[in-house]
Structure 1
Amino acid sequence: MRTRLGSPWVGVAAAALLLAGCGGGAEPGGSDEIAGVGEGAGAASPEASSAGDGIVRPEVSLPQGDQLVFDPRETGDARTDAVLHDNAEYLRAIDEAIGHQDPGSKAVSFYSKGSAHLGSVDWIGGFVKDGTTVTGTVRYTGREVTFSEDGSAGLTYCADESKGYTKDIKTKKTDVTPATKDSYVFYSDRLRKNAKGVWQTTKSTSERGSKACRP
């Protein structure tokens, strides 16, 4: 059975995701755009902006029993907090799409494009194929943002998946797996602000079992 520990987030060649070490990241100054990918923002179901920036955003709801914790959620710096907010909503949108069994999620495309969007579609599709959803708690900690001269933002963070599981949709049975070093993942993401003012995640590199993220 597919679990979060074996998700295509790490090492999906078809989605052009790169498996990297802790120093890994997207190429500075490079183009993050792939034509026709992640451009479905206008069709998203609207809600008042939770970021306080006036942008009409899709409403995102996590599957029952699923919880994502983000630390820090904000820093007090408006530009940094906008990046943190939109990346968190992107991760939440992925879990929502898994719960709805919807690889074509408009919320996911609202918050991502490029190789990150392709990887998300592939990952969500794997859960659909297996007939599973997500449950439990995943914690994203040590979230740090840096800005590049080309206008993009880099975001690094750790994911603690030790309490995150999959659940069979038909039987409702949760696949509780023991925590191992691979339950801890280091991520290095690249984001770009689109014309609507949304910080879309465009690339993601990762190292599963990273010493930097293990307790």
Structure 2
Amino acid sequence: MARRALTTTAAAFTTTAALLLTACGGGGDEAPDDIKGADASSKSPSDSASGPASSDRPDVSVPKDLKLVFDFDKPSDAKQAAALSDAENYIRALKHGIAAQDPEDPAYRFYSGAQAAQYAKSQIETWVEGGWTVYGTDEYYDDDVAAMSDGKGVVVSFCRNQAKFYGKEIKTDKVIRTEESLNSYQRWRVLMIPPADSSGVWKAGTVEVMGKAKDCRG
């Protein structure tokens, strides 16, 4: 996908995304937008059902009955590639937190800050309160990576297909299935903040989720 520079600044993007999430509750008709049925590298798709911790990064593994697929193009620019990779890790960490039933899970906190951390926490809290865990296949694709004009971040945009991603009741193991519809498709934009130290970790600062994304349905 396209690799370019955005003319807007990181501050402007943050303000816009915050307003969208406040107004739309995450961009979809379901609440939270990740819950379906309870109401969310290289060119080859990467099956990311597990993501064990490295020596300096947290465990972001998910249950075997959840399949995370990232069909992304790896940017040639090293910084943009790192930002895209850690945007994936933010998604993994969010699912890990839901599976762990822990709104204070250290994994998503490691890969996010500010509004993006608040968003992840609120999503996890809703799943925990509902008594659901994650199940099925969650697909991410059609990525676009763009550097901010002020040099203070990289915006990672991608589609999500959650048509086969479901909630599962923890007490009964009942999978709450729904039919594919326009609600199954989302467009995500994540502002990734460059490392503030030698860790090399890019963190999600702001998340914008737009539901009923017709362009993602294809």
Q: CA 1:202/1:97 → structure 2, altered by over 3 Å: closer, same or farther?
A: same
Tell me, in whole angstroms, the C-alpha distance in 2 between the residues paired with 1:18 and 1:134. Answer: 18
Runs of 4+ residues deviating >6 angstroms: none
Gaps of 5+ in 1: 1-10, 21-44, 49-55
Tell me which amino acid in the other structure corresponds to 2:160: A
Q: CA 1:73/1:111 → structure 2, altered by over 3 Å: closer, same or farther?
A: farther
Tell me which amino acid in the other structure corresponds to 2:71: D
Tell me, in whole angstroms, the C-alpha distance in 2 between the residues paired with 1:154 and 1:17. Answer: 21
**Paired position in structure 1 for 2:205:** 202
Q: CA 1:123/1:132 → structure 2, altered by over 3 Å: closer, same or farther?
A: same
Q: Find the residue that maps to 2:98 and give its secondary structure.
A: helix
**Paired position in structure 2 for 1:214:** 217
| Cα distance, 1:108 vs structure 2 | 0.3
RMSD (CA atoms): 2.2
Tell me, in whole angstroms, the C-alpha distance in 2 between the residues paired with 1:73 and 1:133. Answer: 29
Deviates more, 1:133-142 or 1:78-87: 78-87
Alpha-carbon deviations, 1:168-210, whole Å to 9, x = none?
A: 0110110011111010001111110132321111111122111
Q: Is the 8 A contact 1:185 1:208 kept in 2?
A: yes
Q: Is the 8 A contact 1:17 1:115 kept in 2?
A: no
| Cα distance, 1:211 vs structure 2 | 1.5
Provide TM-score, normalisation by structure 2: 0.73
**Paired position in structure 1 for 2:72:** 72
Q: Count matched residues.
A: 173
Q: Find the residue that maps to 1:212 and give its secondary structure.
A: helix
Alpha-carbon deviations, 1:79-107, whole Å to 9, x = none?
A: 22211110111101111111110110111
Tell me, in whole angstroms, the C-alpha distance in 2 between the residues paired with 1:47 and 1:210. Answer: 35
2:22 pairs with one of 13, 26, 35: 13
Tell me, in whole angstroms, the C-alpha distance in 2 between the residues paired with 1:151 and 1:184. Answer: 29
**Paired position in structure 2 for 1:108:** 108
| Cα distance, 1:77 vs structure 2 | 3.2
Tell me, in whole angstroms, the C-alpha distance in 1 between the residues paired with 2:118 and 2:192. Answer: 15
Gaps of 5+ in 2: 1-19, 29-51
Deviates more, 1:176-185 or 1:60-69: 60-69
Q: Is the 8 A contact 2:21 2:208 kept in 1?
A: no
Q: Is the 8 A contact 1:137 1:163 kept in 2?
A: yes
Provide TM-score, normalisation by structure 1: 0.74
Q: What aligned pairs does 1:167-186 form with structure 2 within 5 A after superposition?
A: 167-186=168-187
Q: Find the residue that maps to 1:162 and give its secondary structure.
A: coil
Tell me which amino acid in the other structure corresponds to 1:143: D
**Paired position in structure 2 for 1:61:** 61
Tell me, in whole angstroms, the C-alpha distance in 1 between the residues paired with 2:217 and 2:102. Answer: 32
Alpha-carbon deviations, 1:100-129, whole Å to 9, x = none?
A: 101101110000011111011011001111
**Paired position in structure 1 for 2:85:** 85
Q: Is the 8 A contact 2:159 2:186 kept in 1?
A: yes
Q: Is the 8 A contact 1:62 1:96 kept in 2?
A: yes
| Cα distance, 1:161 vs structure 2 | 0.5
Tell me which amino acid in the other structure corresponds to 1:158: C
Q: Find the residue that maps to 2:139 and give its secondary structure.
A: strand
